[in-house]
Amino acid sequence: MLNHLDPASTLAFGLLVFSLLMVVMFEATNGFHDAANAVATVIYTKSLQPAQAVVLSGVMNFVGVMVGGIAVAYALVELLPAEVLSPPDGGPAVAMLVSLFLAALSWNIGTWWLGLPNSSSHCLIGSIIGVALGNAFVRSRSLSDGVHWAQLWKVLEALALSPLLGFVLAGALYFLCRKTLHDKNLYEPVTDKPPIWWMRGILVLTCSGVSFAHGTNDGQKSIGLIMLTIIGLFPATYALNPTAGQSLHDLPAVMTRAEPLIRKYGDDEKDSALAAAHNIEGLGASQAAGGQASVLEPPDGHTLEVGPHSPAAKLRSNVRDDVYRVISELKHAEETKDISSDDKKQAQSITKELGGAVEYAPMWVRMLSALCLGIGTMIGYKRIVKTLGERLGNVHLTPAQGASAEVISAILIGTAGFTGLPVSTTHIVTSGIAGTMVTSGAGLRYGVISRIVIAWVFTLPATILIAGGIYYLLTNPKF
């Protein structure tokens, strides 16, 4: 079905525009779903008025996206099999995009409506796994080869470990506060009067820090998805990195170095990757022989070319697809148990060189992601704020608890954002607050906690099933 969609058709263009709207909506829901993680503490301690808190959080989220890089963005993209990113006949990856966004967006909105602090990261990762599994079933691939398990486990380990760290470290920091700071007002829920000025300053700073860290991590997730969408819409302009310079001209030579590694360590898709490498080598040879200007050079860029309507657009799109097929096999080679250390280093080096040609994000894409996240942060926050501030523990959140949870959250989320690990802001902050509740002796409201945990546990399987089912229906030729 959609895997063989004519890339120049009106239907393909319409579905890609729909996908772009969906990813923009997902990033907005990410903002208002996760905004409470930063603003709950300053609101419930009356350090800031709600309007002030959400505006501050929105601005800091925007800044975080703009300076956070793209490591997390492409850590998620690499979970998708190469054949999903590169459908047959040069078509855009419409089925993948529609499946991802429908599954992640529907679960995000559903849990927000119920007031449950669910993870947008889990929604997205579950949807990606679902697409990979649906693709394996459609193409009759084994599940061991159809999903990039090594990268997946790396992501899931970060998602699983970070809430535990948040719980323990926030609880420990709160305990340290109790031993060193003896102002009783820091350990009682605020009524009408804000906390002492220096604690209020800490709470405002940590709200800003968590919002900034959230932008550096969660903001990147939509950057990768926006890039996948606009590459389908404007392949001549965005299929290859226009700032890659000499590395684009060096692609044929790099492919020559990659071939022996693919041939030796490749999986069931190695023939496809070898053919992709030959395509790029042949392109370089033919252009050198004919004295032509390379089609790999960046286009003039003043006019966006919609869809692959020209030979140059189609060729640049095909080169990108071929690069991803080679990258996929090189990553498989890196993870092979019997690979030598020298071969592994070479595979990693080549992968990095190839990544520069296809893994990038223009400034306007970063700004779009930042704007959607920032605006989303400023709306719809009240449901989750109430859960975090009132319903996790048997008492309302206190200033010392809020500061302890936010300090640890900002450190953990910020570190993950700049190291390329996609973590859940929601899980870290919620676990941090829970850790301070336990340390304080206030205890937890286990009815609410159980609902949150159930939502966490079911997010991955639910989004896997939804995305995988949609992708299977959209790509199975029998339907």
Give the bridge partners for 444, in sequence order. Answer: 393
DSSP characters over 353-411: HHHHHH----HHHHHHHHHHHHHHHTSS-HHHHHIIIIISBSSPPPHHHHHHHHHHHHH
> Contact 413/210 with Cβ under 8 angstroms?
yes
pLDDT tens track for 339-396 = 999 999 999 999 988 988 888 889 899 889 888 888 887 776 666 666 665 555 556 7
Helix (H, G, I), strand (E, B) or coil at 444: strand
Greater confidence (469 vs 231) lies with 469
Amino acid residing at 107? W
Whole-number pLDDT of residue 303: 45
pLDDT tens track for 397-452 = 788 888 898 899 888 887 876 666 767 777 788 888 888 888 888 766 666 677 66
> Contact 203/407 with Cβ under 8 angstroms?
no
Q: Global pTM?
A: 0.78
Whole-number pLDDT of residue 284: 66
Among residues of the chain, what percentage have pLDDT more than 70? 80
Tokens of 400: 């010392």
Whole-number pLDDT of residue 393: 54
Mean pLDDT, to the nearest integer, of 258-277?
90
Q: Secondary structure of 319-359 in the HEC alphabet?
A: HHHHHHHHHHHHHHHHHCCCCCHHHHHHHHHHHHHHHHHHC
User: In whole numbers, what is the pLDDT of the chain averaged over residues?
Assistant: 79
- Tell the burial category of 205 from Cβ atoms under 10 Å away from its Cβ (0-12, 13-18, 19+): middle
Evaluate if residue 167 carries a pLDDT over 70. yes
Rounded to 5°, angle at Cα 25 from 95 and 98:
5
CA distances for 463 relative to 103, 124, 270, 397, 426, angstroms? 6, 8, 30, 32, 17
Residue 302's pLDDT band, with cuts at 50, 70 and 90, is very low
Most confident of 9-18, 38-47, 54-63: 54-63
Q: How far apart are CA 169 and CA 416, in angstroms?
A: 16
pLDDT tens track for 21-45 = 888 888 888 777 666 677 877 887 8
